[in-house]
């Protein structure tokens, strides 16, 4: 069955503000199809990650998949990884403030402080429980998506609202 592009929920829809429920394992065919659909949806929207609440489902599941695009020209390239029932195990003391946007809050960017490096656990699609260390941009994506499954969006973490800017102004500034 061919993957399909799903509708991305927008800020204001209640699912984005609720703590998501754990995914039951092993994955069903429908859950595997959902992961494929989320990847297709994220790529079409030029995102670097997407969480289940962003497609209307309150599940502890998200995709991390950076690659260079018009939205993130300097992103590293990484094959999409589905992170099921993820846990943030440890984090650095050091935080880095950088730009973020969100597919559920189109057209806006803001500066968000995040941990520079993190240690995480998650279940992979094949059912293995993995533990990994992430840093830099990939750690930022994880934390952004992890917020989504905990009922938060990046604008909750912006410390100075004067940093908000529209996507066109952000692109001008970055070019």
The residues annotated as belonging to the active site are: 145
| CA 35 vs CA 18, 21, 31: distances in Å | 20, 16, 6
State both tokens at 154.
């990046």
State both tokens at 80.
């999409």
Q: Is 113 helix (H, G, I), strand (E, B) or coil?
A: strand
Pairing outcome for strands 61-64 and 49-51: antiparallel
Do residues 92 and 116 touch, judged by C-beta distance below 8 A?
Answer: yes
- What are the residues facing 166 on neighbouring strands? 108
Q: Cβ atoms within 10 A of the Cβ of 171, count? A: 14
Q: Cβ atoms within 10 A of the Cβ of 82, count? A: 24
Q: Cβ atoms within 10 A of the Cβ of 37, count? A: 18
């Amino acid at each position: 069955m061919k993957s399909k592009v799903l509708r991305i929920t927008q800020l204001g829809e209640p699912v984005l503000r609720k703590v998501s429920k754990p995914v039951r394992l092993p994955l069903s065919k429908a859950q595997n199809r959902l992961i494929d659909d989320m990847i297709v949806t994220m790529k079409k929207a030029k995102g670097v990650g997407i969480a289940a609440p962003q497609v209307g489902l309150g599940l502890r599941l998200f995709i991390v998949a950076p690659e260079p695009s018009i939205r993130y020209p300097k992103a590293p390239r990484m094959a999409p990884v589905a992170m099921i029932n993820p846990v943030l195990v440890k984090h650095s003391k050091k935080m880095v403030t950088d730009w973020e946007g969100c597919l559920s809050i189109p057209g806006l960017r803001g500066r968000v402080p995040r941990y520079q490096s993190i240690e995480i656990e998650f279940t992979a699609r094949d059912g293995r429980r993995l533990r990994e260390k992430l840093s830099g941009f990939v750690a930022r994506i994880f934390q952004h998506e992890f917020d989504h499954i905990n009922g938060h969006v990046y604008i909750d973490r912006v410390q100075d609202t004067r940093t908000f800017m529209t996507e066109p102004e952000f692109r001008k500034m970055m070019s």
